Amino acid sequence: MGFGLIRQGFAWPLPAYDCRMLGPIDLHTHSSVSDGTETPGELVAAAIAAGLGAVALTDHDSTAGWDDAFRAAAGTGITIVPGMELSTRLGWRSVHLLSYLFDPADPGIIAETGRIRAARLRRAESIVDRIAVDYDLTWDDVLAQTTIGATVGRPHIADALVARGLAFDRSAAFAGILHPRTGYFEPHYAPDPLDAVRLVVAAGGVPVLAHPATRGRDDIVPEDRLRMLVDAGLFGLEVGHRENTESGKARLRELAQKFGLRITGSSDYHGEGKPNRLGENTTEPEGLEAIADAATGSSPFTG
Ligand code: AMP
Ligand code: FE
Ligand code: FE
Ligand code: ZN
């Protein structure tokens, strides 16, 4: 679908399109529609304050923040890239799939994200049930940390633990009570990455593997699997991410070269929920332009 809306800001005739005029591009952020601490509108304001030219809203398994983000961007000149971070699972491994510019009304997307959000809710309740055996924590404590309809995750349980004085902050909660070794952890239903890539592509979207090397170069999705994802339409790899290891990033660059994949970089901003700052990793303008050109489901919106 291309960059039609973004181009509108420039006088005709257009020079060879130059997105560098936009400012830095950050393609991975979370609002309170999932586990970020700011509303989509607050997040857009923070992105403007950080000097970003374009920001993607990629809440976990939900598009519910898109309209608020568009409204907040109106008249400001910032570009919103509507997206989502889809939860998928390969065996025991949680694999996150950034998905850009798909059709949010696509029935397949609506059905699958609804299924994942419902499974997340049941799983969070079950985790809290088991924590509550040992600690003074209730499900209502967790609900108090979420907004209505939000995609619920462990970060909300972490916030409830903090509110109860059982952890200093989210990071401490993840390192302590929420750490898988404590035994309270359990996974939730999530589709296979291959089905997820197919779903996003069928909805006109552009899928990019999120932070694929957070556990190091030897724990990246196996190459035969990656080839299947590429054949199904995987578009890129998020190389620039603070949690990818350095040797992992080098390996991802090799894999991108080998499979003809685009490279992106992003902050994975969660407001105050994580130390990640907006724009700490960015994507080249040509990368965003390629994503917009490949998408048929929706367009970037320039306010
Ligand atoms: P869940 O999807 O419910 O399993 O929770 C995983 C989410 O928790 C990820 O999306 C991260 O944003 C967040 N998360 C993981 N580790 C940490 C941490 N150490 N501090 C804050 N948030 C974290
Ligand atoms: Fe998150
Ligand atoms: Fe993620
Ligand atoms: Zn994320």
Within the chain, residue ranges assigned H as helices are 4-7, 40-49, 66-73, 107-134, 139-143, 154-163, 170-175, 193-202, 223-232, 246-259, 285-294
CA of 30 to the centre of ligand 3 (A): 10
Q: In the structure, what pLDDT confidence band is assigned to residue 158 with cuts at 50, 70 and 90?
A: very high
The ligand 1 atom nearest the CA atom of 85: 10
Ligand nearest to the CA of 36: 2
Q: In the structure encoding, which two tokens stand for residue 301, read together?
A: 């919106």
CA 12 – ligand 1 centroid, Å: 45
pLDDT band at 129 (very low <50, low <70, confident <90, very high): very high
Pairing of strands 236-240, 206-209: parallel
pLDDT digits (tens, 9 = 90+) for 207-251: 999 999 999 999 999 999 999 999 999 999 999 999 999 999 999
pLDDT on residue 19: 52
Mutate to test the pocket of ligand 1, among 61, 122, 170 (most ligand atoms within 8 A of CB): 170
pLDDT of residue 20: 47
pLDDT exceeds 90 at position 2 = no
DSSP letter (8 states) at residue 20: G
Q: Residue 188 CA: which ligand is closest?
A: 1
Q: Is the pLDDT of residue 18 over 60?
A: no
Which atom, in ligand 1's list, is nearest to the CA of 123?
3
Q: Which ligand is nearest to the CA of 58?
A: 4
Pocket (CB within 6 angstroms of ligand 1):
35, 153-155, 170-171, 174, 270, 273-274
Mean of pLDDT values over 77-92: 97
Residue 33 has pLDDT above 50, yes or no: yes
Q: Is the pLDDT of residue 9 over 80?
A: no
- Split at pLDDT 50, 70, 90, the class of 22 is confident
What is the distance in A from the centroid of ligand 2 to the CA of 268?
8
Give the dihedral of Cα atoms 232, 237, 249, 38; nearest 10 deg.
-140
pLDDT at 21: 62
* Position 163, amino acid: A
pLDDT tens for 190-213 read 999 999 999 999 999 999 999 999
Work out the number of other CB atoms within 10 angstroms of the CB of residue 176.
14
d(CA 81, CA 22): 13
Specify the length of the chain in residues. 303
Atom 20 in ligand 1: residue holding the nearest Cα: 171
**Contact indicator for 198, 192 with CB cutoff of 8 Å:** no
Mean pLDDT of 281-290: 97
60 alpha carbon to ligand 3 midpoint, in Å?
8
Kindly report the pTM of this predicted structure.
0.94
Q: Is pLDDT of 14 > 60?
A: no
